[in-house]
């Protein structure tokens, strides 16, 4: 099992930060900045893990996640949700939509790394 | 010989018996078992109060003095009963349908509820009847004195004391049974039953004396006839004038006397009883008069000359030692007197209390006095009781004053003539719709005046009218002599008085009626009275009483609700000790029902409804007015309620709107906070992430190091901008911004804005200006205005997606406003999001341009503060914004002219 991460995030600086962190941890990091075609990009790329921002231009992260879970081949894909709106409601919505992990911006780099590693480990065991 | 004590004992026992009868009858009536109490026979017998002591004792005296003339007293009522019973029926029907309580009430009701008229009739009746009551007292006293003379024990006997106690006793009896309770219909079953019994007693007594005289003393019919022929009574000497006058008077009195009206109309339960009475009452009168002549003849024969013929009925048996028979005769006379006095006192007390005392009391109490009905009831009862006492007192006083000497019959005829003055107004009222209140008043006054002048005053004795007036007339006007009006002499005083008073009464009544106009209520009442048979339902049989209760049940269910009504009726059945589910229609039950109903529909309406079903009475105008009053009150109340509920609804709607607004504001606030949170957290994320990278990562390349530091710096500046914008917006929105208004030229403002944006910008935005239109002086906060232009130009610079971005700025006037359009050559803003570009945090383009999405929101706030606006111009080729502002100063200095 490889260590391939697809990061869907429209904020270029955040994208660069996460890419830097994960690359140094040995991950292959692909990025995508638009919500509109994100589902298709994920389906084609078939990463081991998806990091998904909630606020995306074109289509919200929640909708993308729901669509992913509706697809048979992607319904057990580990998804780490990122949001800048740290409200309880968003966390609930994300859990309902099927997020594997939920993280509020700003996060510490260690948190991200740990989350990504945990999710990957869980996915590998099952 | 019978002792006086024995007589008193018998008397008291008899009164006690009457008490018991009256009491039992009242009890039965209260329980609703009135079948035999309401029989036509009882009704007929109660009519016999016409035969007072005057007729019982006086007829014999009359016969002894004037021969057969006494027959006229019986002839009048007989003619009325037989020949005019349809007229009586009309009276009874009116009485029932209008709930008439007395003759005064009838006349007053007919003429528009005129209380003045009622008072006149009442006064007339009191004046007319008081001597009559005195007459009854006198007869009782005289009969006592006969026994007292004959008393061997020589017991002390005081005439005055006797009269006083008799009067007091009768008053007590009348009070006890006439005013025990207030019945809306003024019916007194107890009293009526008692007087029916008395009617039997007096008839029986007179017949017994007659039989004794004819068969016991004279030895048979033939012998009696012979004796009559021998006496001067047998001489047929008819004075047609007097005969006609007295017959007429008796007939009129039969209708108009308050006590006759009471038993005939007010106490009448069923107008069909009149059919029976039409033959039974004349029969009764016939029997009463059958032995009058024999007794008179035998009395004249047997007793010493100078004996009072008025007392032959007593003295003849006494002289023959027939104490028992004499006692019976005494009871008969006693019955005649008491029944008349009791009913007369009751009838008069009703009139006095209803038409004189109560109006005075109510007006004395002022408004609101009648609102407490229980209060009024007790006052009414009290006033009736006092009235009875006063009337008896008047009778007693009259007796004391007059000395009781006058022949009984002449007082009776004077009374009759007075009472007969009501006749024109009464008959006119029920048969002639044109009769008016003014006419009735005129007729009554004329008749009353003439009666007093021509009959009452002369009749009372010479003392009251001087001899000179009799001989020469007042002030020497001979045509005004009391017993020879208009110079017509030679008439019998009674005939003279009856003729003139009735003639002028009727004439005044007719003429004044013709020349006066009835009030609306008079007209209505007139129609109700005259056409009473069209307006009211026919009598209901007593077999129909169950149907009545069923009707009541149906009505009650409609008003109270089925369960409530049934419970009420069941309670009443239990109270009455009966079975089944329908109670008998007793007065108590009806009263209770009326009270219950009045809680729902108002007292007047309830009364009218119950009366309609039970009494068969039509709804009177007064009822309708009361109903209308109640309805008006209800209507007012309900319209108040309606107004209140409308107000409540409006308040509720306002509250709902306010609540919606608050909810919306709260949602907007949530959304705004959420947006702010997002906008703050995003740069913070980058700052934190790269700060940690810089701190934790060893061996970063120099360029990496500097790039990451630059990112941190950029994001920190972005945060600062955001906070500045937020503060700016907050100040603008809260209205706390201070505007620095000053004059300036538009061109300068635009120059400043363009140069600010383009300075240091690397993107090649070309700004095309048409400077001609920009030479406008305006007064505004020029710095804020420049801020708006800077924002718009910067937007064009950021978002214009043309290959060679171009922004055209043009200024012109539209409708007194200065308009500046900024149009670029890009693709513009898509139509569906044009509406929201001015909202906070609204970003149309996907790419970030470093803004927080507050710029346009701030622009709009600024322009609103400056009294203008900034809008998106749709329909242009590219992105197009229009800034409008007022030309607050009219001096459009065209500086270009320089």
For residue range B234-280, list pLDDT tens digits in order. Answer: 565 666 777 888 888 888 888 888 888 888 887 777 777 888 888 88
CB B417 within 8 A of CB B250: no
Beta bridge partners of B777: B745
Q: Is B169 exposed, middle or buried (0-12, 13-18, 19+ CB in 10 A)?
A: middle
Between CA A119 and CA A100 the distance in angstroms is: 8
- The answer to whether A84 contacts B714, with C-beta atoms less than 8 Å apart, is no
CB nearest A84 (choices: B678, B715, B846): B678
Nearest-angstrom CA–CA distance, A59 and A72: 21
Q: Which of B677, B681, B686 sits opposite A17 (nearest CB)?
A: B686
Per residue in A34-57, is it b (16+ CB within 10 Å) or e — as a string? ebeebbebbeeeebbbbbbbbbbb
Q: What is the DSSP string of B453-489?
A: IIIIHHHH-TTTS-HHHHHH-GGG-TTEETTEETT--
Tokens 């009150």 found at: B633
Q: Report CB contact under 8 Å: B682, A104.
A: no
Supply the angle between the helices B159-178 and B4-31 in degrees, to the nearest 10: 10
User: Which CATH number characterizes residue A20's domain?
Assistant: 3.40.50.2300
> Which residues on chain A are in Cβ contact (under 8 Å) with B697?
24
Number of continuous H segments (helices) and E segments (strands) in chain B: 37, 9
Q: What average pLDDT does range A70-83 have in this prediction?
A: 85
Nearest to A8 by CA among A76, A66, A83, A70: A83
Q: Which of A34, A86, A109 lies nearest to residue B693, judging by beta carbons?
A: A109
HEC per residue, B695-725: HHCCCCCHHHHHHHHHHHHHHHHHHHHHHHH
Task: Please give the structure tokens belonging to residue A70.
Answer: 């509706």
For B148-207, write each residue's pLDDT tens digit.
776 555 555 566 677 788 788 888 877 876 776 555 455 677 778 888 888 888 888 888
Contact B696 A107 (CB under 8 A): no
Separation in Å, CA of A65 to nearest CA in chain B: 20
Nearest partner of B805 among B725, B709, B879, judged by Cα: B879
The predicted-structure confidence for B56-107, as pLDDT tens digits, reads as follows: 887 787 777 777 777 888 888 888 888 887 788 888 888 777 777 788 888 8
pLDDT class for B891, splitting at 50, 70, 90?
very low
Cα–Cα distance, B457 to B449 (Å, whole number): 11
| C-alpha angle B786-B790-B796 in degrees, rounded to nearest 5 | 145
Residue A87 distance to chain B (closest CA, Å):
8
Is A108 in CB contact (< 8 Å) with chain B? yes
Helices (H), B84-230: 85-97, 103-110, 115-150, 159-178, 189-211, 221-230
Whether residues B687 and A107 touch (CB distance < 8 A) is answered with no
User: Residue B373 has what pLDDT?
Assistant: 44
Render the burial of B628-640: b for 16+ CB within 10 Å, e for the rest. eebeeeeeeeeee
Q: What is the pLDDT of residue B630?
A: 72
**Which are the contacts of B652, defined by CB distance < 8 A and separation ≥ 6?**
none
pLDDT digits (tens, 9 = 90+) for A16-64: 999 999 998 889 999 998 888 888 888 888 898 999 988 887 888 888 9
CA torsion, ordered B118, B123, B125, B131, to nearest 10 deg = 170
Mean pLDDT of B864-892: 79
Closest CA to B382 of B349, B344, B420: B349
Give the max Cα distance, chain B.
Answer: 175
Is residue A53 helix, strand or coil? strand
pLDDT of amino acid B690: 92
Hunting for tokens 């470093």 — which residue is that? B850
- Burial readout B242-269 (b: 16 or more C-beta within 10 A, e: otherwise): bbebbbbbbbbbbbbbbbbbbbbbbbbb
8 A C-beta contact, residue B487 and residue B479: yes
The larger pLDDT score, comparing residue B318 to residue A10, is at A10
Contact A14 B711 (CB under 8 A): no
Judge contact between A81 and A61, C-beta under 8 A. yes
> Is the preceding peptide bond at A38 cis, omega within 30 degrees of 0?
no
A72–chain B nearest CA distance, Å: 30
ipTM, two decimals, is 0.92
User: Above 70 in pLDDT, residue B641?
Assistant: yes
Three-state DSSP class for residue A5? strand
Selecting from B674, B682, B697 the residue whose C-beta is nearest the C-beta of A11 gives: B682
Q: By mean pLDDT, which of B302-311, B703-712, B842-851 is the weakest?
A: B842-851
Say yes or no for a CB contact (<8 Å) between A13 and B690. yes
Residues of chain B in contact with residue A11, where contact means CB-CB under 8 angstroms, are 682, 685-686, 848
For residue B768, the cross-strand partners are B808
Q: Chain B residues with CB inside 8 Å of A55's CB?
A: 678
At B399-408, the pLDDT tens digits run 777 665 554 5
Structural domains of chain B in order of their starting residue, each with its CATH number? 4-27+34-421 (1.20.1730.10), 424-538 (no CATH), 540-619 (no CATH), 627-730 (1.10.287.130), 739-897 (3.30.565.10)
| The two three-digit tokens of residue B818, written as one number | 């200065």
Task: State the average pLDDT for chain B.
Answer: 77
Confidence of residue B831 (pLDDT cuts 50, 70, 90): confident
**Residue B799 structure tokens:** 């978002």
Interface test with B, best of A109, A110, A112 (most B CBs within 10 A): A109
- Asked if pLDDT for residue B220 goes beyond 50, the answer is yes
Burial of B540 (0-12, 13-18, 19+ CB in 10 A): middle
**Strand-strand pairing, B741-745 and B777-781:** antiparallel
Radius of gyration of the CA atoms of chain B, in A: 54
Q: Dump the DSSP string for B807-848.
A: EEEEEEEETTEEEEEEEESS----HHHHTTTTSTT---SSS-
Q: Which residues of chain A neighbour B711 with C-beta distances below 8 Å?
A: 13, 16
Percentage of chain B exceeding pLDDT 70: 80
Instruction: Return the higher-pLDDT residue of B406 and B818.
Output: B818
DSSP assignment of B107-122, as one string?
A: HHHHTTS-HHHHHHHH
Rounded Cα distance, B478 and B465, in Å: 15
Contact A107 B681 (CB under 8 A): no
Q: Comparing C-alpha atoms, which of A64, A59, A126, A74 is closest to residue A94? A: A64
Nearest to A106 among B679, B681, B714 (CB): B681
B848 contacts on A by Cβ (under 8 Å): 10-12
Which residues 6-65 on chain A approach chain B with CB closer than 8 angstroms? 10-14, 16-18, 20-21, 24, 34, 55, 57-58
Q: Greater confidence, B185 or B435?
A: B435
Beta bridge partners of A53: A82
Closest of B198, B202, B206, B175 to residue B18, by C-alpha: B198
Q: Structural domain tally of chain A?
A: 1
Question: Which carries the bigger pLDDT value, residue B24 or residue B31?
Answer: B24
List chain A residues with CB under 8 Å of B841. Answer: none
* Tens-place pLDDT, residues B784-797: 888 899 888 888 88
Structure-token pair, residue B355: 């038409």
- Chain A partners of B684 at a C-beta cutoff of 8 Å? 105-106
* Strand partners of residue B498: none
**Interface probe with A: pick from B667, B689, B705, B852, most Cβ of A within 10 Å:** B689
- DSSP conformation letters of B595-606: HHHHHHH-HHHH
pLDDT at B463: 54
> Is residue A77 within 8 Å of residue A50, measured between CB atoms?
yes
Residue B851 has pLDDT above 50, yes or no: yes
Q: B394 has which bridge partners?
A: none
Beta bridge partners of B297: none
Distance CA B407, CA B413 (A): 11
The boundaries of the domain holding residue A52 are: 4-125
**How many Cα atoms sit within 13 Å of B230 on the Cβ side?**
11
CB contact under 8 A, A14 and B685: yes
pLDDT, residue B843, reads 64
Sheet bearing A49-53, strands edge to edge? A28-32, A4-8, A49-53, A79-83, A101-104
Give me the half-sphere count of Cα atoms (radius 13 Å) on the Cβ side of residue B566. Answer: 5
pLDDT at A8: 92
List of chain A residues whose C-beta atoms are within 8 Å of the C-beta of residue B685: 11, 14, 17, 84, 105-107
Which residue is closest to A103 within chain B, CA to CA?
B685
pLDDT at B471: 61
B289 and B75 Cβ atoms separated by less than 8 Å: no
Query: Comparing B111-120, B536-545, B843-852, which segment has the lowest mean pLDDT?
Result: B536-545
Mean pLDDT of chain A: 86
pLDDT of residue B3: 65
Q: Is the pLDDT of residue B309 over 80?
A: no
Rounded to whole angstroms, the Cα distance separating B889 from B73 reads 114
Report the distance separating Cα B335 and Cα B204, nearest Å: 11
pLDDT of B223 > 60? The answer is yes
By Cβ distance, the residue of B688, B697, B848 closest to A106 is: B688
Closest residue by Cα to residue B846 from A114, A122, A33, A110: A33
Task: Please state whether beta strands A101-104 and A79-83 pair in parallel, antiparallel, or not at all (unpaired).
Answer: parallel
* B373-421 residue pLDDT tens: 445 667 777 888 888 888 888 888 877 776 655 545 567 778 788 888 8
Predicted pLDDT at B649: 92
Which range scores top for mean pLDDT: A44-48, B477-481, B557-561, B601-605? A44-48
Higher pLDDT, B677 or A50: A50
Do the Cβ atoms of B584 and B609 come closer than 8 Å?
no
The answer, yes or no, to whether residue B687 has pLDDT greater than 90, is yes
Average pLDDT score over residue span B728-757? 84
CA distance B437 to A126: 114
Residue B646, pLDDT score: 92
Handedness of CA B189, B96, B35, B79 (dihedral sign): positive
* Min Cα separation A103/chain B (Å): 12
pLDDT tens string B547-583: 577 777 777 777 777 777 888 888 888 777 766 667 7
Q: How confident is the model at residue B688 (pLDDT cuts 50, 70, 90)?
A: very high
Residue A107 has its nearest CB partner, among B674, B685, B696, at B685
A109 CB neighbours in chain B (<8 A) are 689, 692-693, 696
Among residues of chain B, what percentage have pLDDT more than 90? 4
pLDDT of residue A7: 92
């Amino acid at each position: 099992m490889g260590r391939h991460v697809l990061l869907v995030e429209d904020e270029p600086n955040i994208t660069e930060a996460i890419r830097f962190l994960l690359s140094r941890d040995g991950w292959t990091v692909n990025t995508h900045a638009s919500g509109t075609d994100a589902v298709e990009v994920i389906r084609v790329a078939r990463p081991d893990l998806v990091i998904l921002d909630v606020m995306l231009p074109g289509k919200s992260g929640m909708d993308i996640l729901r669509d992913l879970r509706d697809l048979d081949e992607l319904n057990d894909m580990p998804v780490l949700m990122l949001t800048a709106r740290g409200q309880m409601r968003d966390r609930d919505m994300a859990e309902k939509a099927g997020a594997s992990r939920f993280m509020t911006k700003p996060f510490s780099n260690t948190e991200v790394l740990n989350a990504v590693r945990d999710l990957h480990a869980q996915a590998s065991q099952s | 010989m019978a002792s006086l004590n024995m007589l008193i004992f018998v008397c008291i026992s008899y009164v006690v018996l009457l008490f018991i009868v009256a009491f039992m009858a009242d009890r039965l009536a209260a329980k609703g078992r009135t079948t035999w109490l309401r029989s036509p026979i009882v009704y007929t017998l109660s009519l016999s109060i016409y035969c007072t002591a005057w007729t019982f004792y006086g007829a014999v005296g009359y016969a002894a003095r004037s021969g057969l003339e006494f027959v006229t007293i019986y002839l009048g009522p007989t003619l009325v009963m037989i020949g005019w019973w349809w007229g009586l029926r009309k009276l009874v029907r009116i009485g029932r349908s209008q709930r008439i309580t007395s003759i005064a009430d009838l006349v007053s009701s007919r003429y528009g509820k005129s209380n003045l008229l009622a008072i006149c009739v009442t006064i007339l009746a009191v004046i007319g009847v008081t001597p009559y009551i005195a007459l009854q007292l006198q007869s009782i006293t005289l009969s006592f004195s006969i026994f007292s003379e004959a008393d061997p024990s020589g017991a002390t006997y005081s005439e005055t004391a006797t009269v006083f106690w008799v009067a007091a006793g009768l008053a007590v009896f009348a009070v006890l049974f006439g005013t025990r309770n207030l019945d809306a219909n003024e019916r007194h079953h107890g009293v009526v039953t008692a007087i029916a019994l008395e009617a039997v007693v007096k008839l029986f007594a007179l017949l017994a004396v007659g039989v004794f005289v004819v068969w016991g003393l004279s030895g048979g019919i033939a012998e009696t006839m012979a004796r009559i022929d021998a006496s001067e009574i047998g001489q047929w000497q008819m004075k047609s004038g007097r005969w006609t006058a007295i017959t007429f008077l008796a007939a009129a009195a039969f209708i108009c006397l308050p006590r006759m009206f009471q038993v005939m109309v007010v106490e009448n339960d069923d107008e069909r009883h009149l059919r029976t009475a039409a033959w039974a009452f004349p029969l009764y009168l016939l029997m009463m008069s059958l032995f009058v002549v024999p007794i008179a003849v035998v009395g004249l024969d047997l007793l010493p000359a100078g004996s009072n013929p008025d007392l032959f009925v007593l003295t003849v048996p006494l002289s023959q030692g027939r104490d028992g028979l004499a006692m019976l005769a005494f009871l008969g006379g006693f019955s005649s007197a008491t029944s008349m006095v009791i009913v007369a006192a009751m009838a008069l007390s009703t009139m006095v209390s209803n038409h004189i005392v109560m109006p005075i009391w109510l007006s004395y109490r002022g408004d609101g006095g009648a609102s407490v009905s229980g209060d009024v009831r007790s006052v009414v009862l009290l006033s009736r009781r006092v009235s009875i006492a006063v009337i008896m007192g008047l009778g007693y006083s009259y007796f004391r004053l007059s000395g009781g000497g006058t022949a009984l019959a002449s007082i009776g005829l004077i009374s009759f003539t007075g009472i007969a003055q009501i006749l024109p107004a009464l008959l006119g009222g029920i048969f002639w719709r044109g009769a008016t209140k003014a006419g009735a008043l005129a007729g009554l006054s004329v008749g009353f005046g003439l009666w007093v002048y021509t009959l009452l005053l002369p009749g009372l004795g010479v003392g009251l009218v001087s001899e000179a007036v009799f001989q020469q007339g007042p002030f020497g006007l001979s045509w005004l002599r009391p017993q020879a009006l208009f110079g017509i002499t030679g008439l019998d005083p009674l005939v003279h008085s009856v003729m003139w008073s009735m003639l002028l009464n009727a004439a005044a009544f007719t003429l004044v009626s013709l020349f006066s106009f009835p009030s609306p209520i008079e007209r209505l009442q007139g129609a109700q009275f005259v056409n009473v048979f069209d307006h009211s339902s026919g009598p209901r049989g007593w077999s129909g009483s169950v149907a009545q209760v069923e009707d009541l049940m149906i009505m009650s269910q409609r008003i109270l609700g089925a369960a409530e009504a049934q419970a009420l009726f069941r309670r009443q059945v239990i109270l009455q000790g009966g079975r089944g589910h329908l109670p008998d229609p007793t007065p108590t039950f009806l009263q209770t029902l009326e009270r219950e109903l009045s809680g729902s529909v108002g007292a007047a309406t309830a009364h009218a409804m119950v009366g309609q079903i039970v009494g068969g009475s039509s709804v009177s105008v007064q009822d309708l007015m009361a109903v209308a009053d109640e309805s008006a009150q209800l209507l007012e109340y309900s319209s108040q309620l309606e107004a209140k509920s409308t107000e409540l609804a409006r308040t509720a709607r306002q509250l709902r709107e306010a609540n919606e607004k608050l909810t919306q504001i709260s949602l907007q606030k949530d959304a705004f906070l959420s947006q702010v949170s997002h906008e703050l957290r995003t740069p913070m994320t980058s700052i934190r992430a790269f700060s940690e990278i810089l701190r934790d990562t060893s061996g970063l390349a120099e360029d990496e190091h500097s790039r990451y530091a630059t990112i941190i710096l950029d994001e920190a500046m972005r945060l600062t901008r955001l906070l500045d914008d937020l503060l700016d917006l907050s100040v603008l929105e809260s209205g706390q911004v201070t505007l620095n208004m000053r004059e300036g030229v538009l061109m300068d403002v635009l120059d400043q804005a363009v140069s600010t944006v383009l300075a240091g910008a690397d993107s090649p935005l070309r700004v095309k200006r048409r400077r001609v239109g920009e030479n406008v002086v305006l007064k505004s906060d020029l710095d804020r205005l420049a801020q708006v232009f800077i924002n718009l130009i910067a937007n064009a610079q950021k978002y214009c997606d043309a290959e060679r971005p171009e922004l055209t700025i043009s200024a012109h006037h539209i409708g007194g406003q200065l308009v500046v359009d900024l149009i670029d050559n890009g693709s513009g803003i898509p139509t569906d999001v044009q509406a929201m570009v001015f909202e906070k945090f609204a970003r149309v383009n996907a790419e970030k341009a470093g803004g927080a999405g507050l710029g346009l929101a701030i622009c709009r706030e600024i322009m609103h503060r400056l009294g203008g606006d900034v809008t998106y111009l749709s329909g242009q080729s590219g992105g197009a914004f229009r800034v409008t502002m007022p030309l607050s100063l009219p001096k459009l200095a065209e500086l270009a002219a320089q």
